[in-house]
Every structure is written in structure tokens, then in C-alpha cells.
Amino acid sequence: MSAVASPAPAGTVESAPAPAPNKVEVENLNVWFGKNNAVKNATLAVKPNTVLAVIGPSGCGKSTFLRALNRMHDLVPTARVTGKVLVDGQDLYTREVDPVLLRRRVGMVFQRPNPFPTMSVEENVAAGLVLNGIRGDHHELVERSLRKAALWDEVKDRLNHAATSLSGGQQQRLSIARALAIEPEVLLMDEPASALDPIATAKIEELIHELKEHYTIIIVTHSMQQAARVSDQTAFFYMGELVEMGPTEQIFTNPKERRTEDYVTGKFG
């Protein structure tokens, strides 16, 4: 079953306006660590301003898949990536694309909040710019990013405090604000709430709803309930293979593959 939607060919009769082109397209993506094929021939597409949840049991390759989307595997000497990852139609894995610069367009938030400990809240948010040598007064941008991350009200009086003085949930939203400050178009989130308590998790999920208005989001999660709550589309990975992908509601209520059904009904994982 192909999950890639293609624009209607010119000249045909359509009953609906042409669907928007895909923001992200993945074609035959393979990730190898030495001899281990961690992601096998994954192919999918994500529409702009939607949320794709990537689910599956531990070790199924979902994080590996996510990290291939912003070329984080470039940093692992034993990793090899084949296939295409297209953002706005352009393949990221070509020589003309600089991985460093692409990461300013495809941002990432990690599982554990990782604010820079020697910097204040404000400095952390602006870090993506300051570290890249972009000088100037970033105060407005910091405020905007913190508002987008739903953190402004809580930290507006503490901007020059150590980033590590915030709670875990606040630190994670700070990490999101930091990722948003460089104004990416796609946001990758690797189990962003798994290290947080339920209340903080709820805030993050609310945030994802708001963020999808302006960003395209791909989120890896080990919680099916979370996937059901936040995403428009869901992709199920099992042992490196993309087993099935489709609208979230369909995946959870009427999956097409047996393995998908087994997973979402809790038979394993």
C-alpha cells in the first residue's frame, strides 16, 4: 500500500482541488550500522502543517528513522544511509546540501531536555543564532519563540536565570523554544515527553496542536495513546520495516496489517 500522495497529473478531470504538495517525502530509506540494517526501505510522505506520529516497539528503528531526516547519522562513523529524503522536493542526501545548514530548516527536539548549562534561559533560546555567529539583539525573537513554546509567561521574569533552574517540563519547552528560534520549517521530536510527568506531558501535547499551524511535525513516541491524541497520520515500524502508514484514526481502529493490529491492541511491545 502506497502512502505517497501524488499531485494529479495535468489535464485530468478532478472533483477536488489538487492536494498540497508533500512537505517531506521519504523514498526507499535504508540506514545501516555496520552490517545491521536498522531501517529497511522506508517510504512515506508528510503533508505540510500536519503531525506524523511514528510508533513501534523498542528497537524497531523509529528513532533511527527520525534521525535520518536531519542527517544526524552523518556524525556516526559506522552509519550508512541510502535512499532519498526530500523536503520541498529537494533531496537532502545530495552533495549540494550542507548538513549543517539543513538542520536550521529541519529542527530537532530530543528525549531528554538538554539546555546548555552555562547559559541562562534567554541565552539558551538564542543559542542557535548566537552560536552561528549571528549577532544582534535577539530579545524579540526570544520572546516570540518562548511564546510559541507556551513558556513565556512562566519565565518572563527569569530570563537571566540559569536554564537548569527550570523544572523538567519547562526545560523541555525551553528546548522546543530553542529549536523554534532558528525558524525551521519541519520539527522532528524524538519522544519529547517520555522523561516528563503527566502534567508536563499534557502541556507538550497541547503545544504540538498549536505548533502544527505553522510547522510540519514528525514525532516519535512509544505511547500509542499519545500518538492517537496528537497526530494526523501514524506510521508503524516493526524491526526496521515501515509496516503500515495512514490516517491515525484508521491505524488505531481499522489497521490493514496483522502486525499493526497486534501492536495497537497490545499483544506485544
Q: How far is the CB of 197 from other proteins (least distance, A)?
A: 18
How far is residue 119 CA from its own chain's centroid?
A: 25
**CB neighbour class for 208 (10 Å; exposed up to 12, middle 13-18, buried from 19):** buried
What distance in Å separates the CA atoms of residue 65 and residue 242, rounded to the nearest whole number? 10
Interaction between residue 107 and other proteins (CB under 8 A): yes
Using CB under 8 A as the binding rule, the residues of this chain from 181 to 200 that contact other proteins are 182, 185
Q: 164 and 82 in contact (C-beta within 8 Å)?
A: no
Nearest one of 62, 59, 56 to 26, comparing CA atoms: 62
Interaction between residue 157 and other proteins (CB under 8 A): no
Type of residue at 187: L
Give the distance between the most distant pair of CA atoms in the chain.
60
- Out of 36, 100, 254, 256, the only residue in the binding site for other proteins (CB under 8 A) is 100
Using CB under 8 A as the binding rule, the residues of this chain from 63 to 92 that contact other proteins are 70, 72, 75, 87-88, 90, 92
Q: Which stretch binds other proteins (CB under 8 A): 40-48, 56-64, 120-128, 193-201?
A: 120-128
What distance in Å separates the CA atoms of residue 39 and residue 67, rounded to the nearest whole number? 11
Q: Which stretch binds other proteins (CB under 8 A): 117-125, 148-156, 204-212, 261-269?
A: 117-125
Nearest one of 68, 85, 4, 5 to 33, comparing CA atoms: 68
Interaction between residue 102 and other proteins (CB under 8 A): yes
Nearer to other proteins, 3 or 97 (CB): 97
Nearer to other proteins, 102 or 230 (CB): 102
Nearer to other proteins, 42 or 106 (CB): 106
- Out of 3, 162, 195, 239, the only residue in the binding site for other proteins (CB under 8 A) is 162
Nearest one of 215, 201, 208 to 248, comparing CA atoms: 208
Give residues in contact with other proteins (CB under 8 A): 70, 72, 75, 87-88, 90, 92, 96-108, 110, 112, 114, 116-120, 127-128, 131-133, 158, 160-162, 164-165, 175, 178-179, 182, 185
